[in-house]
Amino acid sequence: MALPYTTGGAPSRAASDDVPRYARPAPRPAETRSGHARAEPQTTTASAAQHGNGRHTAKHGSVDLEALTTQRLQPMKRALKNGKVVLRNDRLLVLDLTTSGTVVAMDEHQREIYEFKRPIPAIESLSIHDASRVYPWDMASLSERVAKVVRVACRCVSYLLSQQRRIKIATPQGRGYMFDDQNTFKVAFFNGVSVELSRAKMEATVVIPSNKDLPDEIQKIPLRPADLPLSPQEEEEDIDYDGGPQRNTWDLRVPDKLRGIWDHAREVVRQMCVFDSVLREFEDGGRMAALYEGQIQFPVDLRWGWDPTAEYVPPGLARCRAEKPGAAYGRGTGAVGRPLSTAVHTTGSTTVVGGRSGRHQQQPLPQQQPQSAQEQWGEHLLDRRTVDDTPTRRLNLGPITRLVEEFNRAPKPAAAKAAPAGNSNFLHTPGSLMRTPAGIAKDAAAHEAMLQAFDGACFIPSVGWCIAAEGKDPDDYLITILFCDGCRMLVKAKRQVVCYRDDAAEYDDLPFDHSMPVRVKERLAWLPRFLAAMGLGT
């Protein structure tokens, strides 16, 4: 009986006639997360951006705008066969087709579609206020001319997302990838062999490189739902065919020389599918999504042999801390059993600082690279509490200037121990408390830099204080902002990251990009005003 594959092409007719029915599953449309059927791809070539690849395209060319997202795409400009598509820094998607008399812009956040009449200025300077007409985020309300352009834009986004890696894993024999459309898997072995599995086509393509000047050998293997599960539920079910359950029968489809490659590829895909179900629990508002906030940073690295029962938090998420009554005044603790952060309140014209008395815990930030003394001082200021331990454990409230005075005060000199009489080697004893001239000069320079930082501090009424410390490099600034409502923010200009603390959440080393949480973006919007007030805006 002939094998159901051929070298370099699709299965022949003669081979297909001898293949059992369970080896040739009927084509079934891929399913979206919401359970709706998704149309099959029309093409797999590089021109898929013009013809669509199925993520947002259903039958008869309709488009699901609710599924359209450009969140994972970076600002870009791509040339099409009959125009160009541009994703600007403000997340405005602009499509300019030469065959259309209009230019269409789509704002995913405002959920509006804008139509512009030609001629138009440069796309980078295009303003939505100059639009000739504004449409709601609904395909039914669009004119035929605009709907045609929107369909092309959605297909471009769909194609670009299909090239984005969602999960990557390093295996003992190579590397595996799962792409953002969640229909395509690829396993690349160290010996050059690659396996690509497609849910949409229900087919696996094995490419074996040639050692000579001959074309690579290509083996195409038909898949069953059990080989490439469409969902965790289907993976657990036994699928009944005419000959009974054939869940693990591969002998008629995979030759012996590919058996090891095939088994390893299936194991890689299985681990990525299980791991993807955990990620979807965070993305789709599952049980774990209520405990964390932020946005997952893709692609996500998966460790080989990952334990599904172990607790896992994707990168980019931070745990929410529940706030109890009175916690803002330092009378309670957070959800993780640690004192809540300092709260700053405004009473009339006097700004006061409150915290939990008798406690001072400095939470170390995860260091991706060695931190300088300047950054350590800024993080210490971020978690600083100006409270005293009193027998009655009452809060010691004072003006914000107490915080400045505390840092302006010269450090207390360490008490030097008296040298024993007759011991002439005391000055050369390792670990002695005698201060060298170099150490004294270093402390004086650090103290002077600290005084200069507080001399240039800026206060905006009803907002808070901003303190900037300058490093050795011209662009190396450490900016600390203490808001009047208790929020604290530390901006590291050279590393382009920000640390944030409030009574509900805390974030460490957030990058400056669109994945930043909304609450941090709102606080960061005050940074330009503080910099302008301190003369650092230019």
Distances in Å between the alpha carbon of 111 and those of 66, 253, 412? 10, 48, 60
CA distance 398 to 387: 9
Domain co-membership, 156 together with 178: no
pLDDT digits (tens, 9 = 90+) for 48-58: 343 334 333 33
Res 41: pLDDT? 36
Q: Is the pLDDT confidence value at 175 over 90?
A: yes
CA distance 30 to 184: 11
Res 371: pLDDT? 52
Res 461: pLDDT? 87
Domain co-membership, 511 together with 375: yes
Contact predicate 130/123, CB 8 Å: no
Res 444: pLDDT? 61
Domain co-membership, 122 together with 270: no
**Residue 460 DSSP code:** E
Angle at 293 between CA 363 and CA 527, to 5 degrees: 70
**Residue at which a domain ends, from 144, 162, 180:** 162
Domain co-membership, 115 together with 174: no
Q: Mean pLDDT across the chain, nearest whole number?
A: 67
Phi, psi angles (nearest 5°) of residue 233: -70, -45
Q: Is the pLDDT confidence value at 187 over 90?
A: yes
Q: Which residues of 262-280 are buried (b: 16+ CB within 10 A; e: fewer)?
A: bebbbebbebbbebbebbe
Residue 311 belongs to a domain: no
CA distance 363 to 71: 31
Angle at 491 between CA 490 and CA 494, to 5 degrees: 140
Range of the domain at 185: 13-27+165-238+253-279
Residue 419 belongs to a domain: no
Q: In this structure, what CATH number is given to the domain that contains residue 264? A: 3.30.1120
| E strands in 89-193 | 92-97, 102-107, 112-117, 133-136, 165-171, 174-179, 184-189
Which residue type does 532 have? A
Domain co-membership, 149 together with 176: no
Domain co-membership, 197 together with 148: no
* pLDDT above 90: percentage of residues in the chain: 5
Res 199: pLDDT? 82
Q: Is the pLDDT confidence value at 45 over 60?
A: no
Domain co-membership, 97 together with 175: no
Phi, psi angles (nearest 5°) of residue 105: -125, 140
Q: Is the pLDDT confidence value at 86 over 80?
A: yes
CA distance 335 to 344: 21
Helix/strand/coil for 143:
coil
Residue 84 belongs to a domain: yes
Q: Of 158-162, 310-314, 320-324, where does mean pLDDT reach its minimum?
A: 320-324
CA distance 55 to 153: 12
Residue 247 belongs to a domain: no
- The whole-number average pLDDT for the span 438-455 is 59
Q: In this structure, what CATH number is given to the domain that contains residue 528? A: 3.30.1120.30
Res 537: pLDDT? 62
**510: enclosing H helix or E strand:** strand 506-511
317 or 342, higher pLDDT: 317
CA distance 208 to 262: 13
Domain co-membership, 104 together with 92: yes
Distances in Å between the alpha carbon of 502 and those of 366, 382, 517? 18, 11, 13
Domain co-membership, 175 together with 134: no
Q: Is the pLDDT confidence value at 489 over 80?
A: yes
Distances in Å between the alpha carbon of 121 and those of 52, 82, 350? 29, 19, 51
- CB count within 10 Å of CB 436 equals 8
This prediction has a pTM of 0.42
321 or 264, higher pLDDT: 264
pLDDT digits (tens, 9 = 90+) for 212-238: 777 888 888 888 776 665 443 333 344
Domain co-membership, 265 together with 202: yes
pLDDT digits (tens, 9 = 90+) for 325-365: 443 333 333 333 333 333 333 333 333 333 333 344 444 44
pLDDT digits (tens, 9 = 90+) for 97-148: 877 778 888 888 888 889 888 878 788 878 888 888 888 888 888 888 888 8
Residue 301 belongs to a domain: no
Alpha-helix residue ranges (DSSP H) falling in 55-195:
144-162
Domain count, the chain: 3
- Give 207's pLDDT tier (boundaries 50, 70, 90): very high
Res 313: pLDDT? 83
Strand partners, 506: 501
Most confident of 74-78, 488-492, 512-516: 488-492
